[in-house]
């Protein structure tokens, strides 16, 4: 039988030994692996997404990175109108992701069909096919707007450019 510790159980709030682990946890948690899926976009949004990895925006400083397979991803970043030809691929991509999984729709096309709304060849936005968690408006959205969308999806930002409480 284990006897109780002779030392008082440290209060996690005040214990100085917990300050560093908590700080590490605060800075490193909710990092994100992102898979980008082009569902028939004009490549405008895709260029803005490519810009996230340039030295100016440097998305990796926020603990967010792109991966080459949906099987490695926490979040699916979808651009484009969801053309008929991409529907099957989009569903299979989503089903290949491990749970919990998030979907972010980037650009007017992915949200509502944009200028292509009503076309016979595409859906009016991706949310007929995939369950969207966060919408990022823009045509195309600025890279900062996409960063905001990713951080809103994981609760690190509250929207309208504001940080979350933690």
Partner 1 sequence: MPMDLFDRVLRPLRRRPLTGRYPDEPAVLPATVHGLPEVDPSRCDATGDCVTACPTRAITLMPGSWTVDAGRCVFCAACALACPQDAIRLGSRFELAGRSREALRVSTPVGGPR
State the residues that interact with partner 1 by CB under 8 A. Answer: 55-58, 61, 108, 111-112, 114-115, 117, 125, 127, 133-139, 141-142, 144-145, 147-149, 151-152, 157, 159-161, 163
C-beta of 96 vs 117, nearer to partner 1: 117
C-beta of 40 vs 141, nearer to partner 1: 141
Q: What is the CA radius of gyration of the chain?
A: 20
To partner 1, the closest distance from the beta carbon of 156 in angstroms equals 8
C-beta of 90 vs 108, nearer to partner 1: 108
To partner 1, the closest distance from the beta carbon of 12 in angstroms equals 27
C-beta of 23 vs 144, nearer to partner 1: 144
């Amino acid at each position: 039988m284990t006897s109780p510790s002779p030392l008082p159980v440290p209060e996690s709030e005040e214990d100085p030994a917990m300050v560093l682990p908590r700080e590490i946890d605060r800075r490193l948690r909710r990092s994100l692996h992102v898979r980008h899926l082009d569902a028939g976009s004009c490549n405008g949004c895709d260029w803005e997404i490519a810009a996230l990895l340039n030295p100016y925006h440097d998305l990796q400083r926020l603990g967010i990175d792109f991966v080459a397979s949906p099987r490695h991803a926490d979040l699916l970043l979808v651009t484009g109108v969801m053309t008929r030809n991409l529907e099957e691929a989009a569903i299979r991509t989503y089903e290949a992701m491990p749970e919990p999984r998030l979907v972010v729709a980037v650009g007017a096309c992915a949200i509502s069909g944009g200028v292509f709304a009503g076309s016979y060849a595409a859906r009016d936005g991706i949310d007929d096919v995939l369950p969207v968690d966060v919408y990022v408006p823009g045509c195309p959205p600025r890279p900062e707007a996409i960063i905001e969308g990713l951080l809103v999806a994981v609760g690190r930002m509250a929207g309208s450019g504001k940080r979350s409480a933690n």
